[in-house]
Structure 1
């Protein structure tokens, strides 16, 4: 038996959103899952169902500004990594802890995987494992040469465009959704200098990741140009005390395109790769 849940959450600054939960009868662990940029939590329900069938309680976090979030980015409403790391994710973690007392896993897709590692570094000893899918540092040098050479231009242009428009209209560009300019600013800075930091955050985010311990299961999709193996390896290198396994999943194993998003509707091969060292 698997129990679906919708858990109302409120951050300390008043931001409201919902966690979508999938809880098996006898959970072996709990996973806090962070979506990709611009992707609502509900899109990961097939993934959550597949994990719950293997005994993992899954709680799908909602990004500020997406889906069930009470906020939408605008010229007047802006935020960056600080609000995500210091307001929203602690509220989700507190809500998750009310629904079981088993080992905790944190993970995510794309930007979610990056911030899962950063948040783990802010809360050492809380998470035993890190599940990372189609993610990695956006640092331009971690990408194949020709594509990597173009990325510094992208990382300068998109924050400028977001500042000019008040938000980044990502869907028009094929990148994310309607995004707060502060999020784009913080993301682009990492892409340029490979150093995780955020406006208004005093903590040493890079140092926190270096001190993390545990195990990371990392999954790269073979044809994913947005998160190639070098990008994932660059992110894992920031966790020197975390042991890791890296799986590259091709299209024939996945049963669909091995790109950045198709796996979400056919998640079984990704789930199997995540469980490779868990069981």
Structure 2
């Protein structure tokens, strides 16, 4: 298996850090892994290697200003989530497709990556998609850490963003540093019951263009996103062939899975195998 770090151009020419994982032959599909807010792409490398070893070309990337794509101070860096969607994710979809044009293209989106798939230009051409812990960020859905959520949206962000010119989440151990526009737009969505669909009628309609098979994982012990939030978000994918798996840790022989445990090596023989088998079936 060949693994190569490099760069790829976003739609406006901005260079993004990427890692390409070449499949062991014969390859049956390509997959783009779109990550969660504040999570660097190497977090997904174990899963990427597993998929590549089992016949999938895999592309991972960092949104501009984040992870290995961060090449300048965060203060004054101009980006919001809509820009990530329209210029970064759309271009990475095209990059993955161009690398193996004869193969079906799939997407695996974690949290934010699964939320924004529906509004990404080109998503209607995806053959199959998997979401992991992707749900509405509307703050009233989160009844597990209500105090922390309210402090984030009503105290820390409105207080600190004007002072620093970005959200200094790394110092707070919350999400990580975020560009001003990203944090501001995310906060606006999280304070609205319709979350991402509150951005515009065009965003709500964009979800309807996704008609591919869609597998959505959620976990009973997810500390960040609850089942109602995940069900609400997946309701936007009204024309997709949706399958939901809401699991307890004991269902996959684990003591805990939470928001990030799907991507642990401990998921290799359970969740990863389940995902691989599902993708093989859907891209035939």
2:232 to 231, 234, 259: 234
Contact 2:109 2:117 in 1 (8 A): yes
Question: Partner residue of 2:76?
Answer: 76
How many pairs are equivalent?
A: 273
Using the TM superposition, give the Cα deviation of residue 78 of structure 1 relative to its aligned residue in structure 2, in angstroms: 2.5
Question: Partner residue of 2:133?
Answer: 134
User: Is the deviation greater in 80-89 or in 90-99?
Assistant: 90-99
Question: Partner residue of 2:260?
Answer: 261
Give the direction of change, closer, same or farther, for the CA distance of 1:134–1:177 in structure 2 (3 Å limit): same
Question: Partner residue of 1:214?
Answer: 212
- Counterparts of 1:78 and 1:92, CA distance in 2: 20
Contact 2:78 2:179 in 1 (8 A): yes
Question: Partner residue of 1:11?
Answer: 10
Give the direction of change, closer, same or farther, for the CA distance of 1:191–1:71 in structure 2 (3 Å limit): same
* 1:45-95 Cα distance to aligned partner (Å, 9 max, x none): 101112223322211121212232153452321310132122212332232
Q: Are positions 1:162 and 2:156 aligned together?
A: no
Give the direction of change, closer, same or farther, for the CA distance of 1:180–1:108 in structure 2 (3 Å limit): same
- Counterparts of 2:41 and 2:257, CA distance in 1: 21
Q: Secondary structure at the match of 2:183?
A: helix
- Counterparts of 1:248 and 1:198, CA distance in 2: 26
Question: Partner residue of 1:123?
Answer: 122
Report the TM-score, using the length of structure 1 for normalisation. 0.86
Q: CA RMSD in A?
A: 2.6
User: Is the deviation greater in 214-223 or in 6-15?
Assistant: 6-15
Q: Secondary structure at the match of 1:86?
A: helix
Superposition pairs for residues 1-279 of structure 1, below 5 Å?
2-24=1-23, 25-72=25-72, 74-100=74-100, 101-119=102-120, 122-144=121-143, 147=145, 151=149, 154-160=152-158, 161-193=160-192, 194-196=194-196, 204-252=202-250, 253=252, 255=254, 257-266=256-265, 267-268=267-268, 269-275=270-276, 277-278=278-279, 279=281
User: Which residues of structure 2 form unaligned runs of 5+?
Assistant: none
Q: Secondary structure at the match of 1:239?
A: coil
* 1:235-265 Cα distance to aligned partner (Å, 9 max, x none): 1101111121222343342546312223323
Contact 1:15 1:69 in 2 (8 A): no
- Counterparts of 1:210 and 1:88, CA distance in 2: 21
User: Is the deviation greater in 261-270 or in 44-53?
Assistant: 261-270
Report the TM-score, using the length of structure 2 for normalisation. 0.85
- Which structure shows the bigger proportion of residues in helix conformation? 2
* 1:82-109 Cα distance to aligned partner (Å, 9 max, x none): 3212221233223222321211112211
Give the direction of change, closer, same or farther, for the CA distance of 1:28–1:174 in structure 2 (3 Å limit): same
Contact 2:124 2:210 in 1 (8 A): yes
Contact 1:105 1:130 in 2 (8 A): yes
User: Which residues of structure 1 form unaligned runs of 5+?
Assistant: none
Using the TM superposition, give the Cα deviation of residue 227 of structure 1 relative to its aligned residue in structure 2, in angstroms: 1.9
- Counterparts of 2:271 and 2:129, CA distance in 1: 14
